Structure 1
Amino acid sequence: MASGNYASLAAVEITFRSIQPLFYSTPIRLGGLGLSTAKIGNVLAVSSVLNGLFQAIVFARMNERFGSKKTFMFGVASTIPCIVMFPLLNFIAQHKGHGNFLWAGLGLQILFSLGIGLGYGAIFIFIAKASPNRECIGATNGISQTSVSIMRAIGPAVASSLFSLSIEKGILGGHLVYYVLTTFVGIALYIASFLPHRLWDDME
């Protein structure tokens, strides 16, 4: 169960991360933001730095207060507003251009995305507890990493293809990819609901 949830979190995150630079670079008239390579690099760099700081400051406190299951589900659910921001940002770009409103929206998307990383810290705790004994920890981690590697291998290709298909065919106004990704998140949350509310050591 823990490995499956780790894989589902990796899947929803990698699809979001794959579409992010594509969306930023796609021309506004095609549904993106039309940002330059330099600006995209700056946005992603700022996002990475803030993410590291956020995890270091927030995770331990949140996990202690709300528990690993709620923290994990919060991390998964954080991708929903990130995805919703894509069409909203394009709407802002179409009507306001690359002005303050757009950069405020990008900042908001980055803020939402910080929550995703919390899910990893929480699910690692479940994976560690899932091992029946210390000798099996390596095997348990190996199984988990294998499933995640598969998701990270196919996720970008699937997400990129869906993004291109949505734009080229104009399916659902070019927003098909966002509906599909939101559905993925819903499935991931459903899978997460089967995680125990309390860790195994706590139940002994």
Structure 2
Amino acid sequence: MTTTAILTDIEGTTTDIQFVHRVLFPYAYEKLPAYLREHAGEAAIESILEQAREELGDMEADLETLIGAFRHWIEQDRKVTPLKALQGLIWVEGYRKGDFKGHLYEDACEYLRRWHDSGIRLYVFSSGSVKAQQLLFGYSDFGDLTPLFSGYFDTNTGPKRDADSYRQIAASIGCPAEEILFLSDVVEELDAARDAGLGTCLLARDEQPEAAGHPVVQRFDEITV
């Protein structure tokens, strides 16, 4: 079956996961209190705060309580949608100020460009918000790569380990699931994608898994499309 679309994860796949944990998360953790206190009255932030209250199960939680909750979620690396949305807004400032650039493996950049130029449509599915995804690729080490991508998906679509999420993505992309190749460094995500009918490939840059159950490569130039 011909591959007409590639859906890629970010952390550990196109990007060193340490960039996220050593650069992005600490930056958001540090800037978050002041950012929320300054912007709490804005509509976009009010919506995020309401989502956070729902997540906490406390619709009366005040701003300082929510600041503590957001920072606790960062410490726990929780995949909480309002946190991801807030982090994306904070990272906007960091990227625009030049405090950091989006890390990308050189082989990932090269082959994303090659696949795009060959007519394969490229999409992203990450636990980070769509805004965070666009920022990372827009302010990458290799310049603005956002023109390469046809669409972005985050946890608003659904959990990354749930096959229904990939069924929804395939429907949104508008091509048969078997024509979509999903790239990730997490076996459980690949299992869910395979259950939805997608092709899969595991990126294992450092350690080779003992029983992945999927094609395994270390670099993008080893991926068979």
TM over 0.5: no
TM-score (norm 1): 0.27
Q: Choose between structure 1 and 2: higher strand proportion.
A: 2
Structure showing greater relative contact order (alpha-carbon pairs closer than 8 Å, 6 or more residues apart): 1
Q: Choose between structure 1 and 2: higher helix proportion.
A: 1
